[in-house]
Structure 1
Amino acid sequence: MSNMQKKTDVILIGAGVMSATLGSLLKELAPEWEIKVFEKLAVAGEESSNEWNNAGTGHAALCELNYTSEKPDGSVDISKAVKINEQFQLSRQFWSYLVNKNLIRNPQDFIMPIPHMSFVEGEKNVTFLRNRFKALSDNPLFQGMEFSDDPKKLKEWIPLIMEGRTSNEPIAATKIDSGTDVNFGALTRMLFDHLKTKNVEINYNHSIEDIKRAEDGSWDLKVHNIETGYIDDYNAKFVFIGAGGGSLPLLQKTGIPESKQIGGFPVSGLFMVCKNPEVIARHHAKVYGKAKVGAPPMSVPHLDTRYINNEKALLFGPFAGFSPKFLKTGSNLDLIGSVKPNNVLTMLAAGVKEMALTKYLIQQVLLSNEKRMEELREFIPNAKSEDWEIVVAGQRVQVIKDTKAGKGTLQFGTEVVSASDGSIAALLGASPGASTAVHVMLEVLEKCFPQHMFEWNSKIREMLPSFGESLVDNPKLFQEIHTSTAETLGLSKKELVYN
């Protein structure tokens, strides 16, 4: 135990893509601030950010059907899709800024162009997809999207999915070539390598034992050095908790009023990974289907071309599972330990309301390998069991809170929880997560550093030209940004052309 308290300006908890993004933004906006990072594991990006623990989709709502809802009259609400697309454009701009400034290099090591597709079966779903396509194709953010219900055209787009398909059910797909595959693990490691050059102190194998508010409003942390066993005292003016599933227990330690009446429900994931290079070579797209009736949003099935360690891979999933752990490397006591007197009623209410989710998770846990293959064959009719193996993906903790929709409402997005004085903030939740990291970290800056936003505004706009702008309302700006970021990131040499 060290009695010498070490002071710093900023402490980032967790070495994932969120902390990496916030640290990189702060080093551009306030380079003189001292930043320390604490990570429980031995390297960066090993939990939710790791390339094997997420879908690797650059979520821009190009293919994800759960971001476009069908209204009672059959029309499609695209407002959420537009919002997420604009948020992803901010991430592209920031990554491009870092590449242009030679702060990170070789963007092909973390981002690759890949068509994004939606694929549906059945007359009702085909009608929905056609209406979705019409709604999106009128929007400048989604220009270039194609629709087809012609089996011959679909064989050109997705030969692996069409081969051996014998059903007489109507089928249809949309395709847009401006989609991306993002290796968030590689990106995270690149950002932390960059932060090291900016004198950011990164401490691996360090866990946070306690967080308490100091008398002057700053934060005292007890940090356990896992290798030596020592516990050191740190003090920071600002703390960001970006520990993935581990964020909720740490937030609860702070005792801030904003941490009350919040719970978490862990959901684990599995992917099927193809081992046959010939099969992998025959598919080149991220193809998202539609969640089955009664299934939660995070269960949308998709067949993904991925680039991992610069090698092409093919994954199908996700299959949901249940574990009481909040992290893959967590404890089986995580869930029960997160139940506190201030959130027990919220948790119980969620348990009553989410019986359908509980039933779904039980069914998923009990799936045999052959049952998983049957679900895969709905995408690839000729799939062979010997070509595929199971990989355990990451843990996600869905936020449970009291909302206008009622007590104990399960949330499926990401959420920033911060103290009223902005001295501490935590990121909770999951999808769309890493894809919108820059937008989420801008929210942290606005909530926690409002007194600096005016002086930072010009620098933010240098890094993010669309900051404060609506790209939907300014198609010319979107065209300029989309084209320039595509060139910088090596995604396309073709410029989008607008009528």
Structure 2
Amino acid sequence: MSNRQSKTDVILIGAGIMSATLGTLLKELVPDWKITVFEKLASAGEESSNEWNNAGTGHAALCELNYTVEKPDGSIDVSKALKINEEYQVSKQFWSYLVNSNLIRNPHEFIMPLPHLSLVQGEQNVSFLKKRFEALSNNPLFQGMEFSDNPQKLKEWIPLIMDGRDSNEPIAATRIESGTDVNFGSLTRMLFDHLQSKNVDVRYKHSVEDISRTNDGLWDLKVINVESGLVEHHQAKFVFIGGGGGSLPLLQKTGIPEGKHIGGFPVSGLFMVCKNPEVVAQHHAKVYGKAKVGAPPMSVPHLDTRFIENQKSLLFGPFAGFSPKFLKTGSLFDLLGSVKPDNVFTMLAAGAKNVPLTKYLIQQVMLSKEQRMEELREFIPNAKSEDWDTVVAGQRVQVIKDTAAGKGTLQFGTEVISAADGSVAALLGASPGASTAVSVMLEVIKRCFPQELAAWEPKIKEMIPSYGLSLLQHPELIEEIHTSTGRALGLTNELALV
């Protein structure tokens, strides 16, 4: 056993997209700060950020129907969609800065232009989609959105989905060409390569086992070298916990009051994948439907064109499942171990409230391949079983907390928990997650470094020109940002590599 100790300015736990983004921002703002990263796996981007563990959607609310809710009076609440879209514009601006500054290269290796569509069936759903289109299409953030309930037009947009469809049920779709497919695994690896070139100490196969406060106000981390078994202690002024599903147990170990009365509910996922080039060539879009009654929002069915490892493929899903693990590489005791005296009643209340969700997850776990194929055929009527394989996607841990809505409320979103003094912060939750990583990490910076923020703002505005401004209140910026980011990231028609 080793008693090795070291001190650093910042420690990042987890080598995913969140730590990569925060580390890159901090290195641009304060290049002389010492940053250390601990990751228990052998390389970066291997859990939630891995390209096979998420849908790869550049979430901008262009097609995700769960971000626009129909209110009791029949109108459509688009506030969440507008917020997520603005946050994605922030991410694209930061990525463009990195490309233009030659800090990362070859943007086509992590982002590709791809139309985003919403597809619904049934008179009631078609009515909803048309109202959603009317509520969004005149907004400059959603410029270019089209609506059609004409089967012939839909055959032009989504030939694979329309082929063999003989139902007389009403069908409609919206389409917007400015969508993207994002390989967050590739982006994460690019960012960590950059950080290591800037002397950031990235330690793979190092697992953080405990976090405690020292008498002089630093955070002391007990870290185990997974290969040698040696124990090390590392201290820092600021710690960010960006371990995906593993963030909650580490947050609990800090003992900060803000981390009390919070639980987590793990949900696993599966996708069907098709690599048959004849089938793949017939579809070029991300097409999102509506979640079934009783299904969680993250189970919205969608058929996606993906660009992974220089190969074009199709993914359909997700099919939800249940595992008590908080990480794909986690322990079967993760869920049980997260139950503490301060959150046990919160967890029990959540269990009582979400019996339908539990039943839904059990039903999903029990599905055979052929039953999954039947769900796929609701999207692709002529889908053949031999063309599709199953891929196990990542684990997501949904936040459970006490809210105004009641005790033990299940949260579907991304949430930052930070100490009052800003010395430690953790990211919990799931979608839209990676797509809004830059906005989320700017929120971490705002909360945890308030005294430095004024001095850092000029550099932040250099990296993100719209920083501090609402795009909706400055519509003249929207077209400018679309043009500049499209050029830098290769998303414009003349530069796109499809």
Band the TM-score falls in, shorter-chain normalisation: over 0.9
Look up the match of 1:28: 28
Distance (Å, rounded) in 1 between the aligned partners of 2:111 and 2:457: 28
Look up the match of 1:413: 413
| AA matched with 2:36 | K
Distance (Å, rounded) in 1 between the aligned partners of 2:217 and 2:264: 27
Contact 2:415 2:427 in 1 (8 A): yes
| AA matched with 1:82 | L
Look up the match of 1:42: 42
Look up the match of 1:93: 93
Look up the match of 1:301: 301
Distance (Å, rounded) in 1 between the aligned partners of 2:416 and 2:426: 6
Deviation at 1:129, TM superposition (A): 0.4
Look up the match of 2:71: 71
Look up the match of 2:363: 363
Which digits, 9 at most, give the CA deviation of each residue in 1:288-322, with x for residues without a partner?
A: 00011121101100000000012111000000000
Distance (Å, rounded) in 1 between the aligned partners of 2:309 and 2:486: 21
Residue 195 (1) aligns with residue 195 (2):
yes
Look up the match of 2:277: 277
More divergent stretch after superposition (427-436 vs 464-473): 464-473
Distance (Å, rounded) in 2 between the aligned partners of 1:320 and 1:201: 37
Contact 1:116 1:287 in 2 (8 A): yes
Counterparts in 2 of 1:132-151, with a 5 A limit?
132-151=132-151
| AA matched with 1:464 | I
More divergent stretch after superposition (49-58 vs 225-234): 225-234
Residue 181 (1) aligns with residue 181 (2):
yes
Deviation at 1:456, TM superposition (A): 0.4
Contact 1:483 1:494 in 2 (8 A): no
Distance (Å, rounded) in 2 between the aligned partners of 1:484 and 1:55: 26
Which digits, 9 at most, give the CA deviation of each residue in 1:141-162, with x for residues without a partner?
A: 0010000000000000000000
| AA matched with 1:280 | V
Contact 2:275 2:312 in 1 (8 A): no
Contact 1:487 1:493 in 2 (8 A): no
Deviation at 1:209, TM superposition (A): 1.3
Distance (Å, rounded) in 2 between the aligned partners of 1:249 and 1:4: 24
Contact 1:322 1:365 in 2 (8 A): yes
Residue 424 (1) aligns with residue 424 (2):
yes
Distance (Å, rounded) in 2 between the aligned partners of 1:127 and 1:330: 44
Secondary structure in 2 matching 1:483? helix
Distance (Å, rounded) in 2 between the aligned partners of 1:218 and 1:408: 32
Deviation at 1:472, TM superposition (A): 1.2
Secondary structure in 2 matching 1:394? coil
Look up the match of 1:325: 325
Distance (Å, rounded) in 1 between the aligned partners of 2:310 and 2:178: 19
Which digits, 9 at most, give the CA deviation of each residue in 1:126-180, with x for residues without a partner?
A: 0000000011011110010000000000000000000000110000000000000
Secondary structure in 1 matching 2:364? helix
Secondary structure in 2 matching 1:253? helix
Counterparts in 2 of 1:4-403, with a 5 A limit?
4-403=4-403
Deviation at 1:73, TM superposition (A): 2.0
Secondary structure in 2 matching 1:154? helix
Distance (Å, rounded) in 1 between the aligned partners of 2:37 and 2:4: 18
Distance (Å, rounded) in 2 between the aligned partners of 1:494 and 1:59: 23
Deviation at 1:493, TM superposition (A): 4.3
Distance (Å, rounded) in 2 between the aligned partners of 1:262 and 1:71: 29
Secondary structure in 1 matching 2:268? strand
Deviation at 1:215, TM superposition (A): 1.0
Q: Percent identity?
A: 78
Contact 1:44 1:192 in 2 (8 A): yes
Look up the match of 1:483: 483
Look up the match of 2:469: 469
| AA matched with 1:216 | D
Structure 1 residues without counterparts, runs of 5 or longer = none
| AA matched with 1:232 | E
Structure 2 residues without counterparts, runs of 5 or longer = none
Distance (Å, rounded) in 2 between the aligned partners of 1:122 and 1:460: 47
Deviation at 1:2, TM superposition (A): 2.7
Distance (Å, rounded) in 2 between the aligned partners of 1:333 and 1:277: 41
Secondary structure in 1 matching 2:42? coil
Which digits, 9 at most, give the CA deviation of each residue in 1:408-446, with x for residues without a partner?
A: 000010000011100000000000000000000001001
Distance (Å, rounded) in 1 between the aligned partners of 2:448 and 2:442: 10
Distance (Å, rounded) in 1 between the aligned partners of 2:26 and 2:127: 47
Distance (Å, rounded) in 2 between the aligned partners of 1:4 and 1:289: 53
Contact 1:120 1:126 in 2 (8 A): yes
Structure 1 runs, 4 residues or longer, greater than 3 Å off: none
Which digits, 9 at most, give the CA deviation of each residue in 1:95-129, with x for residues without a partner?
A: 00000000000000000000000000000000000
Contact 2:70 2:77 in 1 (8 A): yes
| AA matched with 2:284 | H
Secondary structure in 2 matching 1:480? helix
Deviation at 1:485, TM superposition (A): 0.2
Distance (Å, rounded) in 1 between the aligned partners of 2:482 and 2:274: 32
Q: CA RMSD in A?
A: 0.9
Which digits, 9 at most, give the CA deviation of each residue in 1:31-62, with x for residues without a partner?
A: 11000000000000000000000000000000
Which digits, 9 at most, give the CA deviation of each residue in 1:193-250, with x for residues without a partner?
A: 0001110000000001110011121100111001111001110000000000000011
| AA matched with 1:79 | S
Distance (Å, rounded) in 1 between the aligned partners of 2:240 and 2:2: 23
Distance (Å, rounded) in 2 between the aligned partners of 1:492 and 1:229: 50
| AA matched with 1:99 | V
Distance (Å, rounded) in 1 between the aligned partners of 2:374 and 2:126: 22
Deviation at 1:75, TM superposition (A): 1.4
Contact 2:117 2:174 in 1 (8 A): yes
Q: How many residues align?
A: 495
Deviation at 1:471, TM superposition (A): 0.7
Deviation at 1:361, TM superposition (A): 0.3
